[in-house]
Amino acid sequence: MAGRPAALQLGFDLQPGMRVGLYGGSFNPAHEGHAHVAETARRRLGLDRVVWLVSPQNPLKSSRETAGLAERMAGVRRVVSGRSMIVSDAETRFGSQYTVDTLRALKARFPGVHFVWIMGADSLATFHRWRGWTQIMAEVPVAVVSRPWISLKSRFSPAARRFAHARVPSQQAMLLPGADPPRWVFLTGPLNYQSSTALRERMRQGGA
């Protein structure tokens, strides 16, 4: 973070001992399905805060179809509520392109905070394509929240198979924050069927 003074001014503060979920993504656009994932993790893991890390540009997605950062952050703010939800451009401030670098920067910035990485089951299905995905599992515990159509496939994904030994029962989800990684949990429950892909298609067709 040397030479990046903005990285020292993230716009939020976390105290040692807090249980904090980190929910990263393009959110292009954000929708109620994203909010459902974040709220499910917050409630089931007993989190004090959930930080939405709005990425400047997902390296696995086309920049031509990705809206500007300010627009996407505004979209997240429209679907979240309550002081427990924080919307952040920390990745831009850190200058990090990859999740593993963001995690390390946040852990260094907030020692003593019990971080958990949050993702939907659709992300788990392709997690093995992320840069440093095995290192991410070694950095923090991971909570995966079920999503429509993909949940079964994600449970047999390369990442799920590779770390099958580290999966904990959903009944022990409250113990995940602060657990020594690698540890992960798969959380099932009522599903929300909204998707960014469907919303972008509706906008292209001039729908509401």
pLDDT in tens, 85-107: 999 999 999 999 899 999 999 99
Report which of 86, 129, 82 is spatially closest to residue 106, judged by C-alpha positions.
86
Report which of 130, 99, 101, 103 is spatially closest to residue 115, judged by C-alpha positions.
103
pLDDT of 208: 44
Q: How many other C-beta atoms are found inside a 10 Å radius of the C-beta of residue 50?
A: 24
pLDDT of 205: 47
- Cα separation of 123 and 159, whole Å? 10
The rounded mean pLDDT for the chain is 86
Residue 8's Cβ-count burial label (10 Å; 0-12, 13-18, 19+) is exposed
Cis peptide, bond prior to residue 182, ω within 30 of zero: yes
pLDDT grade for 57, boundaries at 50, 70 and 90 = confident
The model's pTM is: 0.86
Inter-residue contact 46 to 75 (CB < 8 Å): no
- pLDDT one-digit tens code per residue, 183-194: 999 998 765 454
- Cα separation of 28 and 96, whole Å? 19
Q: How many residues are present in the chain?
A: 208
163 phi/psi in degrees, rounded to 5:
-110, 30
